[in-house]
Amino acid sequence: MGVTNSNKVISTDRIDCDGSLKVTLALTAAPDIVSNPTDIALVLDRSGSMTGSPLASMKDGAKTFIDILSEATGGAQSGTIGSGSHIAVVSFADTAIADTQLITSVDALKAAVDALTAGGSTNHADAFSTATELLEASSVPSKVIVLFTDGKTTVGPPPAPVAAAARAKGITIYCIGLVGTDGVDVATLDNWATAPSATHVAVTPDAADLEELFAELAANISKPGATNIVIDEVVSPDFVITSMLPPSKGTATTSDNHTIQWKIASLGTTASESATLEFFVRHTAQTPGTKKVNQSITYSDKEGNKVTFPDPLVSVDCGIVVNPEECPQPVDVKVDGCSDAVLVDLGDAWLESLGRIIQVDVTVKNVCPGKRVALAVILTEVDDDGMEYQRGMKAITIPAHDQPGCRDVLVRCIKFVVPEDLDVSGVPGAMCNPRNFRVRFIAHNIDTDYRCCEAALTL
């Protein structure tokens, strides 16, 4: 069968600016269908929500699936599914029906697919039950359900127990989903499919992609497992890899904090087999937005399996951050090899002296859009008697933001220099004493809708 499924999933779709998430890479491979005949129930959703382009795209995908299996089993020339394998078409809406039995005729299978019309509700339980009954009557040891759906269950009993019963009988279940605003729940597909769900579930929001999903699954079903697998994963520059768990099969290494290479000597060469790799990434950029977690991912193996991985997106919320003060610019100084002393003119220093540097951050709460804010930061030092001594004040203008509502604004890296000769809270004359300070903040809106009385009031 080759690689029957590949997936990449992330543990959450939303993180804070410095947030972390788990990434899971997964593969499933199985032996060659020619030497291991397989009976497949192709279970297709024909409920009312499939009307129009979804139904047309599903039909194209299903017929492509049948063609690829015919060619892979050596039956293309005679128009059959060869090498002892069979396919049945099952369709479902309010109820499920076997549009064909487990047969080998490509024309009959395609005709059954072409005859499907959309209408009615969605009964997944009956779909699984009908497909299971067909496969139970087969003497072929390898049995597979490939279920396509675009909607949630609307009639019939809960399908999860029926799917579980099919899996318990040795039937492998793959699910293909067309997702949308009111579409199928991906977590539900995960629950129905054979574990691990990451390698047995494929979804797309675009009906135009269905033919490709069906074709990839069929092409991989026909190949003899996979050997000498190499997967190279490069995460986006906005993320770094923080840790990695040992893969369930093979070995994985990192060459830097952006790159992972996963190698598997063989997978699915004697029986259907899955492998997963989990690693953790942290967002390090200071920019918000919807971002790709990976920059690139490539796959290769000795058999030439065609494998693609999803490209998951995560929404990053960095809030609003203001950096009012830049770090001082350094001056480059070069000292020749044998110089005992060097005299360098470093230019002017602007009211900054060596000493301790206090750097503070403050969050100004509920800053509304379109309003600049004036922020004062007052630093004092406190002696043993509780007396305060001025050590500095800074006035900062926080620029207006254009977010849709009032937001908290983080003001970072406000720096004060406090020379040691001003120490009043430690031991006089000593260096590096503990010193006690107080910081006060005053903030107010610069821009308001206030106007002086512009008209006389008549009472």
> Do 130 and 187 have their domain in common?
yes
Burial class (CB in 10 A: 0-12, 13-18, 19+), 126: buried
C-alpha distances out from residue 252 to 6, 256, 278, Å: 17, 13, 10
Q: If you count them, how many residues does the chain have?
A: 459
> Do 404 and 274 have their domain in common?
no
Structure letter (DSSP) for residue 222: T
pLDDT beyond 50 at 447: yes
> Do 180 and 230 have their domain in common?
yes
pLDDT tens digits, one per residue of 111-139: 999 999 999 999 999 999 999 999 999 99
Question: Between 106-114 and 53-72, two packed helices, what is the crossing angle to 10 degrees?
Answer: 170
> Do 203 and 252 have their domain in common?
yes
> Do 186 and 41 have their domain in common?
yes
Q: What percent of the chain has pLDDT over 90?
A: 55
For the chain, give percent helix, strand, coil, nearest 5: 20, 40, 45
> Do 301 and 370 have their domain in common?
no
Residues pairing with 430 in the sheet: none
Which one has a higher pLDDT value, 203 or 450? 203
Contact in structure between 281 and 21 (CB atoms under 8 Å): yes
Number of domains comprising the chain: 2
| Domain-embedded: residue 311 | yes
What is the greatest pairwise CA distance in the chain? Answer: 101
Among 317, 336, 366, where does a domain finish?
317
H/E segment holding residue 53: helix 53-72
> Do 127 and 226 have their domain in common?
yes
Confidence of residue 353 (pLDDT cuts 50, 70, 90): very low
Contact in structure between 239 and 1 (CB atoms under 8 Å): no
> Do 239 and 378 have their domain in common?
no
| Domain-embedded: residue 331 | no
> Do 114 and 165 have their domain in common?
yes
Q: Which domain holds residue 393?
A: 321-326+352-445
What is the predicted pLDDT for the residue at 100? 97
Which tokens belong to 364? 């100004």
pLDDT beyond 90 at 334: no
d(C-alpha 117, C-alpha 92), whole Å? 10
Q: What is the mean pLDDT of residues 88-115?
A: 97
What is the predicted pLDDT for the residue at 270? 63
pLDDT beyond 70 at 298: yes
pLDDT beyond 70 at 431: no
> Do 233 and 111 have their domain in common?
yes
| Domain-embedded: residue 332 | no
When mean pLDDT is compared across 178-182, 351-355, 373-377, the lowest value belongs to 351-355
pLDDT beyond 90 at 292: yes
Contact in structure between 275 and 246 (CB atoms under 8 Å): no
pLDDT beyond 60 at 455: no
d(C-alpha 384, C-alpha 399), whole Å? 39
What CATH number does residue 36 fall under?
3.40.50.410
pTM (2 decimals)? 0.50
> Do 151 and 228 have their domain in common?
yes
Average pLDDT of the chain is 88
| Domain-embedded: residue 242 | yes
H/E segment holding residue 48: none
| Domain-embedded: residue 21 | yes
| Domain-embedded: residue 344 | no
> Do 294 and 372 have their domain in common?
no
When mean pLDDT is compared across 158-162, 174-178, 239-243, the lowest value belongs to 174-178
Contact in structure between 52 and 124 (CB atoms under 8 Å): no
Nearest CA to 393 out of 367, 428, 434, 358 is that of 358
pLDDT beyond 70 at 425: yes
pLDDT tens digits, one per residue of 68-87: 888 878 788 899 998 899 99
Confidence of residue 204 (pLDDT cuts 50, 70, 90): confident
Structure letter (DSSP) for residue 308: -
Q: What is the mean pLDDT of residues 150-173?
A: 94
What is the predicted pLDDT for the residue at 55? 95
| Domain-embedded: residue 347 | no
| Domain-embedded: residue 245 | yes
